[in-house]
Every structure is written in structure tokens, then in C-alpha cells.
Amino acid sequence: MLADAAAMAALTAHARSVQPRTVALRRALHRHPELGLNLPRTRDAVVSALADLPLQVHLGLAVSSVVAVLDGTRPGPTVLLRGDMDALPLPEETGLDFASEVDGVMHACGHDTHVAMLCSAARLLAARRNELAGRVLFMFQPGEEGFHGARHMIDEGLLDRTGPAGRPEAAYALHISATVPSGELHVRPGPLMAAADIVRVTVSGRGGHASAPHDALDPVPAAAAMVGALQTAITRRVDTHQPVVLTIAHITAGTTNNVIPETAFMEGTLRTLSETTRTQMHEEIRRVCRYTALAHGCAAGVEIVPGYPVTINDDAATARVAALSGALLGPERVISMPNPIMGAEDFSYVLAEVPGALAFLGGCPPEVDPLGAPPNHSNRVIFDEDALANGVAVYAALALDALRR
């Protein structure tokens, strides 16, 4: 394991020396965010940032992905490092000098920092090629924000033995967090983030005049009853030790005040931390909605759109992240998370295939109370750019550790 204090200090110093380059790339990406799976400007910025390094660069066919491979000087395994690239459909209100110049689009989840950190980590590792027995696969992926970008890259052969770098034996990702103090790294083995599915329900009845509901089959009370019945199903049908969050966030029906509509529509999100509970809740949602609708003389059509699976960190990989980050940042700054979070992450697709870990990098500015800081996905979120050097060093240390052993 890379635990030599002098080597760690040198790695940290190198990360800080390239900080101007890291920040410049981050700000350029922040000014010009892109959404979804087609990110041509971001892709080209990544290719340009890597152009002077001894990397084999492969561009995605169906999506704007970039895969770069650094070969060490000796044979050995492959380690994967991921950085996601897409932004969110939010109007930025940070007041930053380098705020988004694209109306209604903003890097509100810090993916611009992930790309910049991974590019600089590639620079650190390229300078240490002679120390690598194996290869590093840098995964720059579009479409993390609900577009299944990682799955698209896997479908194009990212993890295949015949892929760009052969099948990886370990995979790591960092995610910056605006509510974690800068300088800290938060880790957790096992389930880290939830599976997230979309639930859509259409309740069908018979329209009529609002003054004579007995002559109609009103879908609105049926939909309203479903909301409460679904929450009751969680408390009465699911083991209390299995976390479930079901939120109905959108309900719509009707066109005016005196017409009973024919249909009511509602949709929301289901979050679970195990595939068993996820499957059970799919069945419960369909059952509850169907029979609640029938009790009101209506019918219910239920659509459940599968989202990202549970993000599960490998125990040994998580311990490695904690040990290396402790050596770089100080052991007191590596925090073990007591509980998973119910957000979702499409790095879960990679971790389902390759043992590895995702960790949260502190990005809350020192002058801001983390408890009151605008969080990721807020249009006022601000990340401490000094944290980027920490991420660069951690990324590089993970690859060096994996390929020196």
C-alpha cells in the first residue's frame, strides 16, 4: 500500500502545483454547462486537457463519453477512475465571476469539479508511469443526472476484457459535496446510495358535473386515497429495518372548478436500499393503487420506470479509500458515514460489475456553516475550489496504490 509519508507529501504537493490548471478547467466547464448524454463542448474540453499526456483516448459512439487509458511500464491489472460531466437544468444564482453563460443550465452538482480533478489526476499519474504495473482507465461519462450514462458506456464495452483497457479489477469515484466541510472525506462500506425508480399512476373514472358526483366516478378522491394508502403500506408491509422512501411529488387532474375529470395523474419517486425491498415495493405499489381505485369504482394504470440500482461499496475498496485519504488529508478528516443516503448515483452500474467504492469529498467553503450551506442541486450552491487539490491527490493515490501492489 502507498503509505510512505514522503510519497504522500510529494503527491499532495504535485496536486497543489497543478491547481491553477485544475481550477481553470473547472471554471471553463462551469461557464458552459451541458445536459444529458450529448456534451460535445465538454467532451472536447476533456480531450484538449489530456492532449499532451501519453494516453490512448477513445470517444463514445452513442454518447459523448471519453475513455482515456494510461499504460504503466510493467504489466498488471486495470484500475478505473470515474468523473461525470453533465450539468442540471437550473438557472444559476451564485453570483460567481465564472457563473453559467447558458440560460437555465448550471453545474449545480459539481460535475465540473469531478472532470477537472480527474484530468489533473491523469497528469499526476502520467508523471509516475514508471511506478505503474498495469493501466489506469479514466472514465469521463455523460448523463449521470438521470440519463444512465454509465450504463451506456458499459454497453459500449467499457468493462469488457476486450475493451479499451481490459476488464478493471477495481473502480473508484469521488463526489464533491457542498454540505461536507472542505478537507474531509466521507466514506461508508456496503450500501451507500439508494436505488431510485419513477412511479406514475393514471386513475381512470367517469367525468361529470361537479354538482352531481353520484352520476360520475370521480378519480380525484381515489388518487388522494392512494397517497395515504401507499405510506401506510410502507409501515405495515415492509420491515422497519429496510429503509424505503416513497414520495408522490406531482398530482394533476381536471381543468376547472365545476367539472369532475375522467382521469387523475400522479407521479413520484421510490428509493430503496436493497433489491429485495425494491421488488417488494413494486408489487405493493401496483396492488395498493389497483385496489384503492377499485374501491372508488375506478381503474388504475401503474407504470414503474426502473432507475439506478443501489450503489454498493466493496468493503476492502472502501477501507483502501479511507486509509489512503487518511494518509493524505489526516486520519481525523476521514469520516465514516453512519447511514447511507437516499439519493441515487449511476456509478452503481460500475460497482455492480467491479469491486470499488464511491466517496464524498468535502467542498463546503470554510466560511460557510455546512448545516446551512446551499446543497448540491441548489442553484446557489458554491464549492470550495481549494478542495479540488485534495480530490486530485486522492484519485492519483488510489491508482498508484492499486498498481504498485
Q: What is the pTM of this model?
A: 0.93
The Cβ of residue 51 has, within 10 Å, a number of other Cβ atoms equal to 9
Q: What are phi and psi of 398, to 5 degrees?
A: -65, -45
Residue 380 has pLDDT above 80, yes or no: yes
Contact 194, 340 (CB under 8 A): yes
| Predicted pLDDT at 404 | 84
Catalytic residue among 144, 156, 308, 345: 308
> Which residues are 190's β-sheet partners?
313
| Predicted pLDDT at 7 | 87
Contacts of 72 (CB under 8 A, 6+ apart): 129, 130, 131, 132, 133, 134, 135, 136, 403
Catalytic residue among 93, 169, 267, 385: 385
Contact 166, 74 (CB under 8 A): no
**Structure confidence by residue, pLDDT tens digits, 12-33:** 999 999 999 999 999 999 999 9
Contact 133, 79 (CB under 8 A): no
What's the grid cell of residue 148? 444512465
How far lies 100's CA from each of 87, 96, 227, 373, in Å? Answer: 10, 9, 38, 20
**Structure confidence by residue, pLDDT tens digits, 282-302:** 999 999 999 999 999 999 999
Residue 162 has pLDDT above 80, yes or no: no
Q: What is the mean predicted confidence (pLDDT) over 368-375?
A: 95
Q: Average model confidence (pLDDT) for the chain?
A: 96
**Structure confidence by residue, pLDDT tens digits, 201-226:** 999 999 999 999 999 999 999 999 99
Residue 71's Cβ-count burial label (10 Å; 0-12, 13-18, 19+) is middle
Q: What string of DSSP letters covers 159-190?
A: TSTTSSS---SEEEEEEEEEEEETT-EEE-SE
Residue 337 has pLDDT above 70, yes or no: yes
| Predicted pLDDT at 1 | 46
Q: What is the mean predicted confidence (pLDDT) over 330-334?
A: 96
Q: How far apart are CA 402 and CA 28, in angstroms?
A: 31
Any catalytic annotation for residue 308?
yes
Dihedral (CA of 330, 333, 339, 345) sign: negative
**Structure confidence by residue, pLDDT tens digits, 59-91:** 999 999 999 999 999 999 999 999 999 999 999
Residue 405 has pLDDT above 70, yes or no: no
Percentage, residues of the chain above pLDDT 90: 96
Q: How far apart are CA 326 and CA 305, in angstroms?
A: 40
- N-terminal to C-terminal alpha carbon distance within the chain: 6
| Predicted pLDDT at 3 | 57
Residue 165 has pLDDT above 80, yes or no: no
**Structure confidence by residue, pLDDT tens digits, 83-107:** 999 999 999 999 999 999 999 999 9
Banded model confidence at residue 112, pLDDT cuts 50, 70, 90: very high
Q: What string of DSSP letters covers 67-135?
A: EEEEE-SEEEEEEEEEEE---BS----S--TT---STT-B--SSHHHHHHHHHHHHHHHHTTGGG-EEE
Residue 303 has pLDDT above 90, yes or no: yes
| Predicted pLDDT at 161 | 82
Banded model confidence at residue 166, pLDDT cuts 50, 70, 90: confident
Q: Position of cell 504503466? A: 72
Query: Which SS3 state, helix, strand or coil, does residue 31 take?
Result: helix
**Structure confidence by residue, pLDDT tens digits, 173-197:** 999 999 999 999 999 999 999 999 9
Contacts of 360 (CB under 8 A, 6+ apart): 174, 175, 176, 177, 180, 185, 186, 187, 337
Helix (H) or strand (E) holding 303: strand 299-305
Banded model confidence at residue 2, pLDDT cuts 50, 70, 90: low
For residue 136, give the nearest of 157, 119, 156 by alpha carbon: 119
**Structure confidence by residue, pLDDT tens digits, 125-135:** 999 999 999 99
How far lies 66's CA from each of 119, 153, 404, in Å? Answer: 11, 9, 25
Contact 267, 216 (CB under 8 A): no
Query: Which SS3 state, helix, strand or coil, does residue 18 take?
Result: coil
